[in-house]
Chains A and B, each alone.
Chain A
Amino acid sequence: MHWSYGSVIRRALGAGAVVGVLLAAYLYAVVEPVIDMAVALEEAASATGAADGGAARHDDPLFTRGEQVGGGMAATFATAMVVAAVFGTVFAAVRHRLPARSDLPRALWLAAVGFATVLLIPALKYPPSPPGMGDADTVGERTVVYLICLSASVLIAIALTRLYGTLHARLADHTRVVAMGTASVVAYALLLVVLPAAPGSVEAAVPADLVWDFRVRSLGGLALLWLGLGLGLGWLLDRHADRTSDRQPVAPGP
Chain B
Amino acid sequence: MIATTHPLPTVEPIRVPGVAWLAVAVAVFVVYLMLQENGALLASSWNTLHELFHDGRHALGVPCH
Hey, which chain B residues are within 8 Å of A198, CB to CB?
Answer: 63
Tell yes or no: A89 within 8 A of B by CB.
Answer: yes
Q: Which of A1-20 contact B (CB under 8 A)?
A: 2-5, 8-9
Summarize A's interface: helix, strand, loop or mixed. Answer: helix
Complex Cα–Cα for A131 and B38 (A): 16
- In contact, B13 and A67 (Cβ under 8 angstroms): no
A5 engages B30 (CB within 8 Å)? no
Contact partner of B16 (CB less than 8 A), chosen from A2, A89, A122, A140, is A89
The answer on a CB contact under 8 Å between A128 and B60 is: yes
Question: Which of the segments A57-65, A184-192, A227-235, A246-254 contacts the partner chain?
Answer: A57-65
Contact of B21 among A32, A68, A89, A143 (CB under 8 A): A89
Cross-interface CB contact of A89 among B20, B35, B47, cutoff 8 Å: B20
A171 to chain B, nearest CB (A): 12
B59 to chain A, nearest CB (A): 4
Residues B63 and A79 in contact, CB atoms below 8 Å apart: no
Is A119 part of the contact surface with B, judged by Cβ < 8 Å?
yes
Contact present for B58 and A128 (CB under 8 Å): yes
State the CA gap A146–B13 with chains docked (Å).
Answer: 34
Which of A61, A123, A173 contacts B51 (CB under 8 A)?
A61
Residue of B1, B10, B63 with most chain A CB atoms under a 10 A cut-off: B63
The answer for the CA separation of A62 and B48 in the assembled complex, in Å, is: 7
CA distance A3 to B59 in the complex (A): 35
Tell whether, in the assembled complex, residue B11 and residue A119 are in contact, meaning their CB atoms are under 8 Å apart. no
**Cα distance, A81 to B38, chains bound together (Å):** 22
Q: A75-B53, A75-B60 are in contact. List 6 more A-B contacts (CB 8 A).
A: A27-B56, A72-B54, A101-B8, A129-B64, A142-B63, A173-B3
- Residues of B that sit less than 8 Å from A by CB: 1-3, 8-17, 20-21, 23-24, 27-28, 30-31, 34-36, 38-40, 47-48, 51-65
User: Please, could you name 26 A-B residue pairs with CB atoms under 8 Å apart, sorted by A?
Assistant: A5-B17, A57-B51, A62-B47, A63-B52, A68-B55, A72-B57, A73-B56, A75-B57, A79-B34, A82-B27, A82-B28, A86-B24, A89-B21, A95-B11, A96-B13, A99-B8, A109-B1, A119-B61, A122-B61, A123-B61, A131-B58, A134-B64, A136-B65, A139-B63, A140-B38, A221-B60
Which 7 residue pairs are nearest across A and B when measured between Cβ atoms?
A72-B55, A75-B56, A128-B61, A72-B56, A142-B63, A71-B52, A136-B65
